Structure 1
Amino acid sequence: VLVGRDIGTVVIPEAPIKFYIDAAPEERARRRYHELKKQGKHVPYEQVLADILRRDRIDSERDLSPLRAAEDAVRIDNTGQSAAETLAQALAILRAKFG
């Protein structure tokens, strides 16, 4: 398993299966906000959301290796899902494809 913003499009485009896992920006900001809070860092949620939106824009508009899903990637929107639920969904897809 490899994780990264261009793994399926640049690093290993020939991988037999690729997942593009995403969530709504507000969900990602909420998760990041709670991670930062657990680390003792107090950053307003609004700032975390603004940072995520800015990075998404920069990453998707850059010339070299812009953020995008591979054409053959299986997309999973895990907004509102736990990590365990997302894993279960990915495993079900893998089992259906590979047995």
Structure 2
Amino acid sequence: MKPSTLFCTFDIRNFYTMLPQEEALNILVEFLHTHGYTKVKGIPLDSIRELASIVLKENAFVYGNKFYQQTTGGAMGSSFTLTLANIFMWRW
């Protein structure tokens, strides 16, 4: 790093829960491809995308004795959601 290097942090409100799922999945594949991956531990990128989609889209929770399915973003507290959000910001 240069002595003139500056660091900054961002706090994007409700980012994890408002992350656009399809766009984030596309960016995940783009990120992996850009960094030279065609497979991750032997798993092709299209399978990685499908598995990531399952993690995001099959997230359900109970509130007030009713079941809900999350349709935008990812689960709060999920290490995958954190990683995906960081990769999403890489593209930004």
Which TM-score tier does this pair reach, normalised by the shorter chain?
0.3 to 0.5
Scaled by the length of structure 1, the TM-score of the pair is 0.35
Q: Which one has a larger percent strand, Structure 1 or Structure 2?
A: 2
Q: Which one has a larger percent helix, Structure 1 or Structure 2?
A: 1
